[in-house]
Amino acid sequence: MSTASVLDDIDYDSSFEMVEEEKFEKIENTDNSENFQYVSTKGNTVKEVNINSNEKKKKEAPIQILTAMIGKWKLASSENLQEYFTLEKFPEITQMAWEHGITCYKMNGNQLHVHTDLLGKSLIPTIFEFDKPIARDDNAVSTHAEGNMMSTICKRIADGSIVWKVERLIKNGNLVVFNSRGNFRCKRVYKRVN
């Protein structure tokens, strides 16, 4: 008894058709490798694609800092924190949240949501919308993220002077937050909580 396979009946030499190869060619590179033009040729069809990597960088810039900030953080050390509490006249619950709470960052669409967990309560909820000034009383608050820095700046609407500024960055795996008002600056260093 012999067995025959369907595979034995295939004529491999005539069963495959040669498909025309598509070639990509880099035509132009200008402005210190920031702009490129690629040409795709397949048969008689030619397609050109222009790429401006500066536009891509602008769109992706916030991702680095925001991705790194996502998660839970606990205060590890600070400089001038008590003085900052006095300067800002923070209520005791806010002081406790800053000193002993777990700060939680998460993205929801294009917004960064932040709150602090303390004693089973969610405190100080904040939503950051990027590059959109928000009017508050006589001031405008705007948040901008680029590379490894996220800055929130409050300016007087009347004259554009800076009232206060908060800068956040990741350094050595820690979240470092600087709060500034005038010449006074407070530094907080947070460690990630697992």
pLDDT of res. 31: 47
Q: Domain for residue 41, yes or no?
A: no
Task: Domain count for the chain, please give it.
Answer: 1
Residues in the chain: 194
pLDDT band at 103 (very low <50, low <70, confident <90, very high): very high
Q: Domain for residue 13, yes or no?
A: no
CATH at residue 183: 2.40.128.20
Identify any residues that bridge with 186 across adjacent strands, giving them in sequence order.
179
What kind and span of H or E run contains 55?
A: helix 53-69
Q: How far is CA 92 from CA 101, 128, 151, in A?
A: 13, 24, 26
Q: Domain for residue 1, yes or no?
A: no
Mean pLDDT of 4-24: 52
The range of the structural domain enclosing residue 63 comes to: 58-193
Q: Domain for residue 34, yes or no?
A: no
Q: Domain for residue 168, yes or no?
A: yes
Percent of the chain residues topping a pLDDT of 90: 58
Q: How far apart are CA 64 and CA 51, in angstroms?
A: 21
pLDDT band at 89 (very low <50, low <70, confident <90, very high): very high
Q: Which residue has the higher pLDDT, 110 or 98?
A: 98
Q: Domain for residue 75, yes or no?
A: yes
Please check the confidence at residue 148 and state whether its pLDDT lies above 50.
Answer: yes
Tell me: the pLDDT tens digits for 51-80? 555 544 444 444 689 999 999 999 999 999
pLDDT of res. 100: 96
Q: Domain for residue 94, yes or no?
A: yes
Q: Domain for residue 27, yes or no?
A: no
Residue keyed to tokens 């009347």: 158
Q: Are 143 and 69 in contact (CB under 8 A)?
A: no
